[in-house]
Amino acid sequence: MKKRSASPGLIAGILCLAAAAAWHSLDMRAGIHETGASWQMGQYLFLTILVVALTTLCGYFLVEKQIPCSLSKLTVLMAGGLGILYLFVLPPLSAPDEISHYVSAYRLSSQMTGQPQRDRYGRVLLRAQDAWVEDLDGDFVYEPDEDGNLQVTAKSREQAVKLGETMEESTYELFHTLGLNGQYAPERTAQIQTMGAYVSSTYPPVTTTPLAYVPQAIGISVARLLGLNTVCLLYFGRFCNLIFFVIMLYLSMKRIPFGKEVLLGVAVLPMTLHLAASFSYDVMILSCMFLLTAVCLDLAYEKEQVRVRDIVLLAVLAAVAGPCKMVYAPMLGLCLLIPMRKFGKVRNWFISAFAVGTAWAMAMYLVNSQVIATYAAATEADSYVEWAGEAGFSMSLLIHNPVLLVRMFYQTLLWNAKDMHITMIGGWLGNLDQVLDVPYLAVWAFTLCLIGLALKIPGEQIRMNMRQRVWTGFLCAACGGLTMLSMLIAWTPVSSRVILGVQGRYFLPFLPVLLLALKNRTVVLTKDKNRSILYLMCCLNGYALVRLFSIVCIRL
C-alpha cells in the first residue's frame, strides 16, 4: 500500500511557524546581547519546539483524513496544550485584574485549609512569604495591628510595584531565578516573619460568589499544604483553573448538537486562552455560559424530551455564573428556544422556568443585593467615579435623559469599536498591554476564521429559523448593552464622551451563540474547510506565543 504524504496545508503551516520563530530569534539575540541572559535562548528554542510539535499534532488530527479524531477529544489537546503554553509565556498576575482574583482565591484557600482569612478590617491575609508579589521593590512599610497582623501604611503603598504589572525581561528573569524552591528577597521575608505571621493584602477581594474561585483555591491549597514556594502556589492555582476550563469546554463540546467548530474556535482565541490560564473568574463565566448554550441548543434541537436533570443543570449554571456578572442574565433567554411540548405538560414548563429563574434570582440576592440597591438608589449627587476624581453617571440621570444614553452608546461604538475588537480576539494581552500585542493583521485573521466557521457548509442543515435567530441576536445585544451600561455607571466620569472600560473580552461568553445565529443560506462555503480553519487558528496561536515571548525578552 502506497504511503500517503502529509497534506500541503499541514506542511505550509509548520514551515510558516518555523520561519516566524527564526525571524523572532533575531530579537532574542538582540535582547540577550543587552542582558547577557543566554538561558532565554534555550527557553525560546524549547518553546518553539513545543509550539511546532503541538501544532503538527493538532494538524494531523484536523486535516489528515486518514487519522480521524472527534472535535470533542481534540478540545483537550488544542485548548489544554495551547493554554499551558500561554500560562508560561504570560506569567502569573499578568492578566487583566488578575491580582484581585488571586487575592480572592487566596482567601477561599485559607477557608479551605482552616487558616485565617481576613483581618479585623476585612483585608485578606497572606502568608508572609507570599507578600512580595504586591511589593517587588520593597517599598512597603508594615505596622502590626491589634491582632498581630501586618498592615501596610497608606503612604508606602502608593509607589509599590506588583508582580506582572508590566511584563518585562526582568519578569522572566525573576521566575527563572526563583525556580520551584527559591524565595524572593529572603532577608526581607525573614524580617517580615519576625514581625508577624500574616500580612494584610492591599488589594480587596472581588465581591462575588466564592464558587467562582474554587478551582484556583484548590490549586493554592495544594501548594500551601505541600509547603511549596510562592511561584508554585501561583502556577498551581492557574493550572487548576485551566483544567476546569478544559473539562467544562469538553462537556460543552459533547453536548452542543451543532456548531462545535464555532465553540472550539472561540475557545482557542488568544484572549480566551490567556484568561483560561489565569486566576480570573472569567473562566467560571465562560465555562458556565458555554455549557448553558450547549444544553439549551441540545434541548431545543436534538433531545426529544426535557429531563429533570437538565433543569437542575440549567439552574446550577444560572446560580453559579449569574452573580459573577449580572450583565449575562439575558443568556437565560436561550431556554425559551426549547419547545414547550418537550416538557410534556404546560405545568412542567412553568415549573422548570420558575426553578431556573429562582435559582438565578436567589444567587443574585445572596451575593449582589447590596450592589444592586446601591446603583438603583444612587442619585446624581451620590454618583462619583473614584479613579477619575469626579462625578459619574447615575441611573436617575440616564432615565431622565435617554438622549444622553443613546449618544454615549453611539459614540462608544463609533470610536472604540476597534479597541473592543482587539481586546475580544486578544490583540493586547497581559493587562491589556499594547506592547504585548498580536498584530492587527493576525487579529483579523482570527476574526475571519470565526466567520468562516460560522458559515453554512455543503450538506449542513440550518437548525435555527429566522425567528429563533432574531431572538438569539436580541439576547446577545442585550448582554452587550448591559455590559456597556454597567461600565457607564460604574467607571465613566461625566466629562467623558465615550463609555470607558468596555473591553471586548466581555463579549466572549455569548460570542459562540451569536455566530451560530448568523448562519444562513445566502452566504455559504462551497467546501467544508472547518478543520483546516481550526488548524490555521492553531498556527496563529503558535505565532502569537513565540512573538510574545520575544517581545518580553527585549523589553528592558
Q: How far apart are CA 40 and CA 32, in angstroms?
A: 7
The SS3 assignment for 115 reads coil
Which pLDDT score, from 0 to 100, does residue 387 have? 82
**Radius of gyration in angstroms for the set of CA atoms belonging to the chain, rounded to a whole number:** 24
Which pLDDT score, from 0 to 100, does residue 5 have? 62
Q: How far apart are CA 315 and CA 356, in angstroms?
A: 4
The SS3 assignment for 525 reads coil
**pLDDT at residue 225 above 60?**
yes
- Strands (DSSP E) contained in 266-410 are 384-385, 390-391
Query: For 534, phi and psi rounded to 5 degrees?
Result: -65, -35
**pLDDT at residue 93 above 50?**
yes
**pLDDT at residue 218 above 50?**
yes
E strand or H helix at 150: strand 150-152
Q: Encode pLDDT of 278-302 as tens digits.
A: 999 999 999 999 999 999 999 999 9
The SS3 assignment for 526 reads coil
Mean pLDDT, all residues of the chain: 93
Q: How far apart are CA 483 and CA 289, in angstroms?
A: 15
**pLDDT at residue 3 above 60?**
no
**pLDDT at residue 368 above 90?**
no
| DSSP category for residue 130 | G
Taking CA atoms, 500 is separated from 388, 441, 443, in Å, by 11, 25, 22
Q: How far apart are CA 321 and CA 211, in angstroms?
A: 9
Are the C-beta atoms of 224 and 81 separated by less than 8 Å?
Answer: no
Nearest residue to 106 (alpha-carbon basis) of 210, 208, 187, 10: 210
| 155 burial via Cβ count (<10 Å: 0-12, 13-18, 19+) | exposed
Taking CA atoms, 516 is separated from 227, 261, 451, 483, in Å, by 47, 10, 10, 21
Q: What percent of the chain has pLDDT over 70?
A: 96
Which pLDDT score, from 0 to 100, does residue 194 have? 86
Which pLDDT score, from 0 to 100, does residue 1 have? 43
pLDDT grade for 385, boundaries at 50, 70 and 90:
confident
Which pLDDT score, from 0 to 100, does residue 158 have? 81
Please identify which residue in the block is written with the cell numbers 439552574: 315
Q: Where are the domains of the chain?
A: 98-238
Q: Encode pLDDT of 298-319 as tens digits.
A: 999 999 999 999 999 999 999 9
For 68, the grid coordinates are: 480521524
pTM for the full model?
0.95
pLDDT grade for 64, boundaries at 50, 70 and 90:
confident
E strand or H helix at 144: strand 142-144
Q: Encode pLDDT of 8-60 as tens digits.
A: 889 999 999 999 999 999 999 999 999 999 999 999 999 999 999 999 999 99
For 30, the grid coordinates are: 538582540
**pLDDT at residue 375 above 70?**
no
Q: How far apart are CA 408 and CA 404, in angstroms?
A: 6
Are the C-beta atoms of 192 and 142 separated by less than 8 Å?
Answer: yes
